[in-house]
Every structure is written in C-alpha cells, then in structure tokens.
Amino acid sequence: MNESIQTELVNFSMLEEAATQEQREELTRNVVTLYSLTSASISKEQIDIYDAVLMRLADLVSDDGRTHMAETLSKLRRAPETVVIKLATDIIDVARPLLERSTVLRDADLIEMAEKLSQEHLHAIAGRDVLSEMVTDVLAEKGDAPVRRRLAGNHGAVLSDRGVNTLLQAAQDDQELQLNLGLRGDLHDDYIVRLIAIASETVRQRLVEQGEDTTASRIPQAARLAAQRMSNEYWLGRYDFETAQEAVLGRFGRNGLSEQLLRRFAEEDRFPEAVVTFAGIAGIGLSEAKHWMVRVDTQPFVVVARACGLTPMTVQALLKIGPWRHRLSADMRMETFNRFQHLNTDKARRMVALWRDQRMAS
C-alpha cells in the first residue's frame, strides 16, 4: 500500500495494533460516508485510493460494519469496483444490498457469483431491477424453488427460451412458480399453452381472478417498468462514464485507442469503457457517444461506426452489450447490422462531416 493511503485516510498500523473494535467500526463508517458524499466529483485515482482503504477496513470490522459499507455503496453509481465485488461475495447479510442494487456489478460478475455462491445470494440477484438473458439462464438452472419463483415474478428479468423451458419444467410441481409465470406479460403463446397444461386447477382459477380483479392495480407498476425501459436517462444513470474516461485515457492515451481495444472492452462487457473508446476512435464527444449507444434508434451509431471503419465483428459485439443487450431484440440487432453492412463508407463520412459542420455552426 502506498504512503498516501497511510497518511491521508487511515493509519493502519494504529488500527491493527492499538485501536479498539469500536474505533475501527466508527472509522469505517466515517470513511464510507465521506466517500458517498464525494463520489460524484472525485477522480479515478482518488476512487482507487478509497478502494484500497475500504478493502483493508473490510477485513478489520464486524459483519455489521461490512453490512453498513455494502448498504452505502449499493446506492452509488460510482462505487469502488474491487471492494464492491469483495462485499458482494461476503455472507448474505453483507452481500444482499449489492447483489440486488449495485450497478457496478456486470453480467460477468453476476454469472460468476451465481455459479459459486449460496442460494440466498442467487435469490438476491434474482430481484435486481434489470437482468439479462445471460444471467437469468444461470439463475433458472442453478436456483432452487425460491430463486426460480422470484426470478419468474421479476418483470425486469428477461427470460430466454432456454430459461423459460427450465422454469416450466420446474413448475410442474410448484404452484407458486406456475402463478408467477402466468402473470408475466412476455410469454409466447406456445409457452402459455404449456403452462396451462401443467397448472393446477387452483392456479388456473387464480390466474383468471388475477386477470379480472387486479389488472387495474398492476397498471401503475407496468407503466413504471415500461417508462424505465423507454427512458434513455434511466440507462445512462446506471453507468459511470466519467471514471471510465479517466481510466481509459490515463492508461492508453488518445493515441492508444484502437478497434482491438474497443472489441476487448465489448467482449469483457465493459460498456462505459467501450463508449469512451468508441468516442475517441470516432472523434466525437463522450456525451454524443453515450447517448447514441443507449438509444433504441441506432442510426447515429451505424453512421459513425461505418465512417470510422469499424469491422462487422466489432459492430456485432457492441450491439450486444450495455443497454442494447436489454433494449434491442434479436431482430432489431440484425436490422441494425444490415444497415451498417449496406451503408457506403464515403456516404457515412459525408454525413458525419455535415453533422460536425452543423454542430460548429450552432
């Protein structure tokens, strides 16, 4: 650990040799509170310092101290990644808020955790506001009955054909799972037919009653979920582009940005870093890049990607990460990719030049 961490935030020698447990707990609360108050404005280097300090403190405090740390960090868009992952794999009381809420955790992190951690941890993951098919496939396969019930009842969880088939198989002897599946609004007709075939008479009657009596009461929730999925700002708020920009440019510099690096970030599911790299390669602002790679209208991205010479392989990889993993259907991705393939490079460059001229004029 470097000297700046020892002197600016915490004297670990004192903590380990002389401090009481109460002093360690109090200091931990003070450090994590200070971080939460400053996280929106501090630099990447400062975040790394906090990350290292909080990692050490997590080893010195009680379960309650780590739980407080996790609760606080789970609400932050810019939370230190290393300590978040450490706490998310802790005992369930510590891990739960991060597994349920933290936007720092990527799909790759969630999948690895779902493969290794307890059913209680999987149950927490199953309640996240947004879950991709990659994660729900693992939860449906590895989860026990409570996990599958929560997953089926989570309307922010996207289920693949594989996931639905797994849940239908498990639902044969699970009436609550049958009911949760029946109340979803995204099952294809053939799945509904299969569900009706295995559902008990009690569940069939309850589904009829739910449809008649509670449709109106479910409208506000459905409207809220739909509005979230439609809002670009909702998705932009889930990612820390500022820290990503500082980290990428600090490590590689503008001259070090390449398509190979861009594709690597895409394959690692590092959406903010991919956006920063795309902006640098294309010579556009970060604000434009992040908005264009979030919205459902993919035309600006298609034009810029063609104009700066990205290969089809890279474009395909980018269409499957970040918000587009959730917002674009397979058909929409294919349509976007086809437009990219058929767009003339010279025409794309003229369109980008015209856009730049209009922006300069305004």
- Separation CA 355–CA 237 (nearest Å): 26
The angle at the Cα of 77, spanning 185 to 242, to the nearest 5 degrees, equals: 120
Burial of 84 (0-12, 13-18, 19+ CB in 10 A): buried
For the packed helices 299-307 and 345-361, what is the interaxial angle rounded to 10 degrees?
A: 110
Q: How much is the pLDDT for 195?
A: 87
Q: How much is the pLDDT for 11?
A: 63
Task: Give tens-digit pLDDT for 53-74.
Answer: 999 999 999 999 999 999 999 9
Q: How much is the pLDDT for 196?
A: 85
Q: Pick the closest to residue 57 from 107, 98, 5, 92 (CA basis).
A: 5
Q: How much is the pLDDT for 14?
A: 61
Please state, in angstroms and as integers, the Cα–Cα distance from residue 76 to each residue in 35, 40, 70, following that order: 10, 9, 10
Residue 25 is which amino acid? E
Task: Give tens-digit pLDDT for 136-146.
Answer: 999 999 999 99
Please state, in angstroms and as integers, the Cα–Cα distance from residue 93 to each residue in 29, 70, 119, 225, following that order: 17, 9, 13, 27
CB 77 within 8 A of CB 102: no
Which of helix, strand or coil describes residue 302? helix
CB 51 within 8 A of CB 83: yes
Q: What is the DSSP string of 183-246?
A: T-S---HHHHHHHHHHS-HHHHHHHHHHHHHSHHHHHHHHHHHHHHHH-HHHHHTTS-HHHHHH
Residue 315 is which amino acid? V
Q: How much is the pLDDT for 289?
A: 94
pLDDT below 70 — which residues of the chain?
1-18, 208-230, 362
Two tokens at 261?
A: 């690096």
